Amino acid sequence: MNCKNCHTDLSEKDSYCNRCGGKVIRNRLSAKNLFEYISETFLNYDNALVLTFIHLVSKPDVVISSFILGVRKKYINPISFFGLSLTFSGISLFIIKKFYLEYLDFSNLLNGIKGSQEIMSSTSRSILEYNSLFYFLLIPFFALISWVVFLDKKYNFTEHVVIYFYSMSLLSIISVFVAQLILLVVPQHYFMFSMFIYPVMFIYHCFILKRIFKLTTGNLMLRSLIFFGLFFVLYVVISILVFALMLATGIVNLEDFKPQ
């Protein structure tokens, strides 16, 4: 008998491969053993995915530091976790486009300013259309700022990317389920929820960075101010570039900014 994963010779009594650790499967696939596999994979407390999710909430520094220091089995790796978050996000966006698209148009908040309404509407459509890309680009964007702010902590840029792969994926998964609940129960309050995400994101990252880098409250506040300053500068630069791109492509015109 051979291992179906690495083709190593096994004895009939072996339950696991002594080379790759793969479980020996003797039964044909059926509804019963498929359900058992799914339950064992996703609902078992000892499962890496469940542990990753729970510990990212309670002790995120342990999950992130463990992966950076070389622990690869206890927790799900950040790329796989990010891929899972993209899957949930994609399903959520499909449901929103199908049933709740009207609640994502925030352009009516800028009544009387035609150009601003057009920009808001175009931005909302673009974010919805390219949500996964924007979400992915936020990770190196935050990691770059974080790397500069915590340069003295000896974490390189890639290790900061790992931090945000974990943190942004967790926040995405949680926000997807909460968003769907809000859209189901009180969809008219979705805008408030969208604004509430940002302070939650800030507080959670403060929690993570404080634990990872063993910061005092004062040190954390100082570095947060520096982070915000760098974020604001980069945000303004990127906003100018995006606006110039929208002008160049004809999405908006300077005449649109004339009062109605």
Report if pTM > 0.85.
Answer: no
113 pLDDT tier (thresholds 50, 70, 90): very low
Q: Which residues contact 141 (CB under 8 A, 6 or more apart)?
A: 234
Q: Which tokens is 10 given?
A: 């096994």
Residue 259 DSSP code:
-
| C-beta of residue 6 within 8 angstroms of C-beta of residue 20 | yes
Q: Is the dihedral of CA 171, 172, 174, 180 positive or negative?
A: positive
Residue 115 has pLDDT above 70, yes or no: no
How many CB atoms neighbour CB 225 within 10 A? Answer: 11
Distance from C-alpha of 167 to C-alpha of 147, rounded to nearest angstrom: 15
Query: If we measure between CA atoms, which residue out of 48, 58, 53 comes closest to residue 208?
Result: 58
* Residue 16 main-chain phi, psi, to 5 deg: -135, 150
| C-beta of residue 185 within 8 angstroms of C-beta of residue 98 | no
Span 87-97, mean pLDDT?
Answer: 87
107 pLDDT tier (thresholds 50, 70, 90): low
Whole-number pLDDT of residue 244: 81
193 pLDDT tier (thresholds 50, 70, 90): confident
Which segments of the chain are extended strands (E)? none
- Give ∠ CA 179-141-168 in degrees, rounded to 5: 30
